[in-house]
Structures are given as C-alpha cells and as structure tokens.
Amino acid sequence: MTSYLIGIDGGGTSCRAAVAGPDGHILGRGKSGAANILSDPETALQNIADAARAAFEDASLDPAGMASARAIVGVAGHNVGDAVHYVKRRLPFAAADIESDGLIALQGALGDRDGAVAILGTGTIYIARQGEAVSYIGGWGFAIGDHGSGARIGHALLQESLLAYDRIHEASPVTDSVLSEFNDDPRDVVDFARLAKPGEFGRYAPRVFDHAGRGDPVATRLLKAAAATVDEALDVVVSRGSRTICLLGGLAPLYRPWLAERHQPLFVEAEADALTGAVALAAARFGTGPEAVL
C-alpha cells in the first residue's frame, strides 16, 4: 500500500490539508474548520482529520489511506508546549510532526533556501532559517507585542481618534472618519475598544494604509511608526544572516512600499503557500523522493 504524505495548515479560522505521493507531488486538497490546538484540541483533531479526508477524496483516494500516511501539521504559534504531545498522540496518521505555522510558511515561501519570512497580518512574527537553525523574532501577541501588526495599527488609529477629540493631537480625515463611525461620542469608541479582539482592531488597519496613501497626516504618522517597528525587526533578521526576506500575511503588499530602502533589495516573492511548505517538509522528513535522501 502506498504511504502517502500529508501537509496540514491549521489556523484559527480554517484548516487546510493536502495529500501527496511519496515524492511530494500534491494529489488533492481539502479544507475544514478551525484548528486551534491550544484552545480547543478536540475540535482541532476533528478538523485536521476532516481536512485530510477531504484531500483524499479530492484526489479520488480511499481515505483509509490516512492511517498509513505521514504528516507535517503546521499550527499557530511557536510555543505550543504540552498541547503538542496531546494532539500528536491522537492524530489519525501513521506518523506526524507538529511544526509552527511560521515554519511551514517559510518552507513554502523559500523552499530549501536560507532566508526569512516576515508575517504581517493581524499579528506579526519573523522567522529566520540558516541551514538547520530556525529562529523566531517577535510574535508575542497583541497584549504585549505584535508591533506593526494590523491589530496594533487599528488600535493606534482608535487611540488617535480620542487624542484628536481631546485636541491633544491633530484631527484629520482618518480620525474624523472613526469618530463619525462612533456617533462622534468618545465613550462609544471606549466601549468598543474595551471588548475588541485583535482581529476587530485589525479591521481598521487597511483604512490607515488607504488614508496614508492619500496623504492624510495622521495616517501617515501612524504608518511610519508601524513601519519603523517592522524595519527594526527586519534589522535583527538581517543581523542573523538572512539576505532573502519574503513578506507574507494580509498586510504584506500594503506594507512593502513603506519599509526602509535598505530592506527593499532583500524582498522576494513567495514560491508557494504554507500548505505546500507543509507537504515539502513531510516529503523531506518522511518521503521516499529525492528530498528524503538529504
């Protein structure tokens, strides 16, 4: 019986899976619901199995083949601790390793090259790889980190709208737009902010990019401050030896023109997505194709 390879990209909103032959060639893909192995491991296990089954069906393969398959499961966060062991023992595959979503994204983006990825979305994290050494920079979450993230940019915009209301900072079209959305009542902004999750703050980030692009002075100031936090993290990535950097995440295309000149020559486009990266790691670690020989 053929021993298939499986790549899983598990995230907070959905879980994607790909099944590949022993050489790493992808045969089918599937998708299911959220896979948060930290906050809800049982649901994550169910959705990982469902996504894998859908991938087998997409490839017109018997899902019973899952039981003899070998998998790389990419999950959110780079500090997954005990939950890894719990989930790893219960996965419906013959063998599996759990890796961070950042590492599979890096593998997808850069293939086997050395370099780094900067994931610029609702959160921010930087992952650099030199040979076998992988290092993580940032990514500590909204409460105390994730500088330059969509959540932080949106939070900064709401904050500026209150500073503009109090005439402590200048008002501008972007702060006016926020206040007007909240009925020109700062208490409504406060009520929203007290309960807002990072993703809810993050929904204001594109508005900052949009207004900054049209010369709004407040949006420009907020965005320059955010871009400076990304640039200083990229300086660390470069100081650790990376000469190739791929910007990933929903804000990546918006951010690129705002980042420092010194980093522009280092930026490359992603070769492939994180799911492809997970399959490639599975092929290298478990496969019988040429990569497995390495």
Using CB under 8 A as the binding rule, whether residue 159 contacts its own copies is answered as yes
Exposed, middle or buried: residue 13 (CB in 10 Å: 0-12, 13-18, 19+)? exposed
Which C-beta is closer to its own copies: that of 34 or that of 137? 137
- Distance, C-alpha 4 to centroid of its chain: 26
CB nearer to its own copies: give 22 or 186. 186
**Distance in angstroms (rounded) separating the CA atoms of residues 190 and 240:** 41
Among 233, 259, 266, 278, binds its own copies (CB under 8 A): 233
Task: Count CB neighbours of 18 within 10 A.
Answer: 25
Q: Per rule CB under 8 A, is residue 168 in the interface with its own copies?
A: yes
- DSSP conformation class of 232: H
Q: In 70-109, which positions are buried (b, 16+ CB within 10 angstroms) versus exposed (e)?
A: bbbbbbbbbebeebbeebbeebbbbebbbbbbbbbbbbbb
CB of 89 or CB of 194, closer to its own copies: 194
Q: Is 194 a residue that touches its own copies (CB under 8 A)?
A: yes
- Contact residue for its own copies among 82, 132, 143, 265 (CB under 8 A): 143
How far is it, in rounded angstroms, from Cα 260 to Cα 251? 16
Instruction: CB nearer to its own copies: give 218 or 233.
Output: 233
Q: How far is the CB of 226 from its own copies (least distance, A)?
A: 14
Q: Does 193 bind its own copies (CB under 8 A)?
A: yes
Binding mask 29-58 for its own copies (x = CB under 8 A): ------------------------------
How many residues bind its own copies (CB under 8 A)? The answer is 29
Q: Does 260 bind its own copies (CB under 8 A)?
A: no
241 binds its own copies (CB under 8 A): no
12 touches its own copies by CB under 8 A: no
122: phi then psi, degrees, rounded to nearest 5? -60, -35
Q: Using the rule CB under 8 A, is 1 a contact of its own copies?
A: no
Contact between 169 and its own copies per CB under 8 A = yes
Nearest CA among 198, 190, 153, 191 for reference residue 174: 153
Which span sits near its own copies by CB under 8 A: 33-41, 42-50, 86-94, 151-159? 151-159
Q: Where are the alpha helices (DSSP H) in the chain?
A: 41-58, 82-90, 101-110, 150-165, 173-181, 186-195, 198-202, 205-213, 217-239, 252-255, 274-286, 290-293
Residue 15, phi then psi, degrees to nearest 5: -125, 125
Nearer to its own copies, 162 or 245 (CB): 162
Query: Residue 82 interacts with its own copies (CB under 8 A)?
Result: no
Residue numbers at the binding site for its own copies (CB under 8 A):
79, 137-138, 140-141, 143-145, 147, 155, 158-159, 162-163, 166-169, 186-187, 189-190, 193-194, 232-233, 235-236, 239
